[in-house]
Amino acid sequence: MKTRVGILGYGNLGRGIECSLKQNDDMELVAVFTRRNPDTVKILTEGVKVYHVDDAPKMKDDIDVMILCGGSATDLPEQTKEYAKYFTVVDSFDTHAKIPEHFENVDKAATENGNVAVISAGWDPGMFSINRLYGNAILPQGKDYTFWGKGVSQGHSDAIRRVEGVANGKQYTVPIDAALEAVRSGANPELTTREKHLRECYVVAEEGADLAKIEAEIKNMPNYFADYDTTVTFITEEELQRDHAGIPHGGFVIRSGKTGWNGENTHIIEYSLKLDSNPEFTASVIVACARAAVRMKKEGMKGCKTIFDIPPAYLSAVDGAELRKALL
Amino acid sequence: MKTRVGILGYGNLGRGIECSLKQNDDMELVAVFTRRNPDTVKILTEGVKVYHVDDAPKMKDDIDVMILCGGSATDLPEQTKEYAKYFTVVDSFDTHAKIPEHFENVDKAATENGNVAVISAGWDPGMFSINRLYGNAILPQGKDYTFWGKGVSQGHSDAIRRVEGVANGKQYTVPIDAALEAVRSGANPELTTREKHLRECYVVAEEGADLAKIEAEIKNMPNYFADYDTTVTFITEEELQRDHAGIPHGGFVIRSGKTGWNGENTHIIEYSLKLDSNPEFTASVIVACARAAVRMKKEGMKGCKTIFDIPPAYLSAVDGAELRKALL
């Protein structure tokens, strides 16, 4: 029998989950839940219904795992602990500083109701976190480096669009090659914010806007751009749609460490992602975690879990003996 | 209380374990076991005794985990199932084709005696395997690529040294850049053996030996070299000792996969290692697995496990809350 999956929230991430489920024969989408009027939400999968989110709890026996696709700022802090009362759930909560608090809240709800809740699934937090953990565990005498990009930062793109005179815009975070090479050399450099990443802005100005003023305002914006070398390129809306429509992302996690009786040998562990679609890749990680969550629940576990707690084999649809034969 | 570790077999790997334990404050080396006369084995750690291997079973209450550092060809197939009767054990069994058989044998012994046995810890099998598994679970529509090197292959170096007229020699396996780049492009190329790796041989000839004959014999050696582009460079024993004394290794695991409703987006996951010392890095992975094995045993688990079965957090000495805060 297939694992029955619900999706709560149908934006880019929800659609990514839907696409990922199509690739996984052991799982099937059984319902999508939305806060909008369900009649206005068209999904890709034939024969699957869209419900209002208020109907979700009634369907708790029809769904093995509910994937929560809301945002981390305001949706997930409320939703995950709420739906963990009824379902095995997975979310992609990505506000790093608030993970401990979110974990506690969700753990309480999931434990009290005998459910498993996997939080912060995706790639950072997620696969990048796992690689930081493996790197630290294997090479305790070492240093971590995480670089992001080249990719679109939603928060920085939003910040650009709030500048007066800006009609539209997109921001790419770009890791700086010289910094990456210094890390890969094993030199364990101390890198400033400016040395690690630069920020490329593509901006569509409103007609008659003062371009020099826009550029200065962006480059000097505190928190977002002031600490970085930032480029501002003005383009037309047409060019923006043609050349910058995608949502690529990626990055690098590098652990540089020493071994030997006197630390005489250097080792570099590097994990990198190059993603055409940030939400679709995030969704693919979440779906694998959903499989694991269902298995953990079946084994009698309960409470909040993260990808740190999931035996890698649980993410796969393939059984242990076959995994050992084919992949070990 | 620290985790008490025994090392069985004191060659390059055993010494690597000893060095790694020095870096991990939650663990301590309590005994080294050897098949040689213990008086002839000098170890690095002060105050730790070397025993004959026959004395190991008597010390089963003094050791929390025994790390087996024998070879995969003849030692481990006998040793791991034998010592799993008395101890929680970890080995680095790396004959991929025989892992299922080894697993069965060890699982029986460990289960019958209530112990945990982690087999095939290291980097391939080991960290490379985990990355193949994660890649397959996350991107089910995709293709795996594993490249090895640049690094020393012991088996190929031995093969060179068996050629008539050869006094000494070392072989490096080298991944071919063009193949790596083709994979990273997302093109999912079909690559022949010759296209993926080349083999660099550094050979010290005996005085008066026929160099052309040696070179031809190496390059045409079936299984080892005939299917590869192979270079043979003659050097002196001095040069070999000066320039080729290390045991570096490494490699790349790449998963190239598609997502989207019609597979329209490409993603590249790449994991790579650049290791100054193959045995010391392998040892570092084993020690982290030893920590996990002890924890699994304490939780009441038993039987044979691989790195696929180990929740990543179990590899770390840091507790769950701190891991979530610092690394998630």
List, for residues A112-149, the tens digit of each pLDDT value: 999 999 999 999 999 999 999 999 999 999 999 999 99
The count of other CB atoms within 10 Å of the CB of residue A99 is 20
Q: Which of A44, A138, A272 sits opposite B288 (nearest CB)?
A: A138
- What pTM does this model have? 0.96
Find the helix or strand (DSSP H, E) in which A294 lies.
Answer: helix A278-298
User: Counting every residue, how long is chain B?
Assistant: 328
Cα angle vertex B252, ends B323, A132, to 5°?
10
Closest chain B residue to A13 measured between Cα atoms? Answer: B260
Q: Are A328 and B306 spatial neighbours (Cβ–Cβ below 8 Å)?
A: yes
List chain A residues with CB under 8 Å of B129. 327-328
Amino acid B228: pLDDT: 97
Amino acid A170: pLDDT: 97
List chain B residues with CB under 8 Å of A317. 137, 140
Q: Cα(B152)–Cα(B154) distance, rounded to whole angstroms?
A: 6
Per-residue pLDDT tens for A24-42? 999 999 999 999 999 999 9
To the nearest whole Å, the CA of A292 is away from the closest chain B CA by 11
Q: Which residues contact B49 (CB under 8 A, 6 or more apart)?
A: B31, B32, B38
Q: Which of A184, A261, A327 sits opposite B133 (nearest CB)?
A: A327
Which among B285, B253, B251 is positioned nearest to B271, based on CA atoms?
B253
- CA A74, distance to chain mean position in Å, is 16
CB atoms B328 and A260 under 8 Å:
no
Amino acid B188: pLDDT: 94
Q: Cα(A48)–Cα(A63) distance, rounded to whole angstroms?
A: 13
Size of interface A-B (CB pairs under 8 A): 216
What letters, b where the CB count within 10 A reaches 16 and e where it falls short, cover B286-301? bbbbbbbbbbbbeeee
Q: What is the DSSP letter of A309?
A: G
Interface test with B, best of A21, A136, A259 (most B CBs within 10 A): A259
Residue B249's SS3 state is strand
To the nearest whole Å, the CA of A272 is away from the closest chain B CA by 5
CB atoms A327 and B44 under 8 Å:
no
Amino acid B74: pLDDT: 94
Q: Are A132 and A255 spatial neighbours (Cβ–Cβ below 8 Å)?
A: yes
Token output for A57: 């709890």
CB atoms B140 and A23 under 8 Å:
yes
Per-residue pLDDT tens for B105-135? 999 999 999 999 999 999 999 999 999 999 9
What does each of the 328 residues of chain A score in pLDDT, given as a tens digit?
999 999 999 999 999 999 999 999 999 999 999 999 999 999 999 999 999 999 999 999 999 999 999 999 999 999 999 999 999 999 999 999 999 999 999 999 999 999 999 999 999 999 999 999 999 999 999 999 999 999 999 899 999 999 999 999 999 999 999 999 999 999 999 999 999 999 999 999 999 999 999 999 999 999 999 999 999 999 999 999 999 999 999 999 999 999 999 999 999 999 999 999 999 999 999 999 999 999 999 999 999 999 999 999 999 999 999 999 999 9
Q: Are B96 and B283 spatial neighbours (Cβ–Cβ below 8 Å)?
A: no
Token output for B240: 């070999």
Half-sphere exposure of B224 (CA within 13 A, CB side): 21
List chain B residues with CB under 8 Å of A103. 324
Mean pLDDT of chain B: 97
Q: Which of B265, B270, B280 sits opposite A277 (nearest CB)?
A: B265
B54 pLDDT band (50/70/90 cuts)?
very high
Q: Cα(B311)–Cα(A313) distance, rounded to whole angstroms?
A: 9
Phi, psi of B181 (to 5 degrees): -65, -40
CB atoms A274 and B268 under 8 Å:
yes
Q: Which of A24, A96, A133 sits opposite B312 (nearest CB)?
A: A133
Interface test with A, best of B141, B181, B265 (most A CBs within 10 A): B265
Find the helix or strand (DSSP H, E) in which B32 lies.
Answer: strand B27-34
Q: Which of B136, B270, B276 sits opposite A272 (nearest CB)?
A: B270
Token output for A80: 């995950």
| Paired strand residues for B67 | B7, B90
For chain B, the C-alpha Rg in angstroms (whole number) is 22
Find the helix or strand (DSSP H, E) in which A253 lies.
Answer: strand A249-259
Q: Cα(B323)–Cα(B97) distance, rounded to whole angstroms?
A: 36
Amino acid letter, residue B241: Q
ipTM above 0.85, yes or no: yes
List chain B residues with CB under 8 Å of A72. none
Q: Which residues contact A230 (CB under 8 A, 6 or more apart)?
A: A198, A199, A200, A201, A218, A219
CB atoms B327 and A133 under 8 Å:
yes
CB atoms A19 and B323 under 8 Å:
no
List chain B residues with CB under 8 Å of A118. none
Q: Cα(B197)–Cα(A299) distance, rounded to whole angstroms?
A: 44
CB atoms A267 and B276 under 8 Å:
yes
Closest chain A residue to B316 measured between Cα atoms? Answer: A137
Amino acid A148: pLDDT: 97
Residue A194's SS3 state is helix
Token output for B161: 């040294």
Q: Are B6 and B31 spatial neighbours (Cβ–Cβ below 8 Å)?
A: yes
Closest chain B residue to A286 measured between Cα atoms? Answer: B138
List chain B residues with CB under 8 Å of A133. 312-313, 315-316, 323, 327
Per-residue pLDDT tens for B233-280? 999 999 999 999 999 999 999 999 999 999 999 999 999 999 999 999
Mean pLDDT throughout B24-45? 97
Q: Cα(B242)–Cα(B227) distance, rounded to whole angstroms?
A: 30
Token output for B140: 């089910």
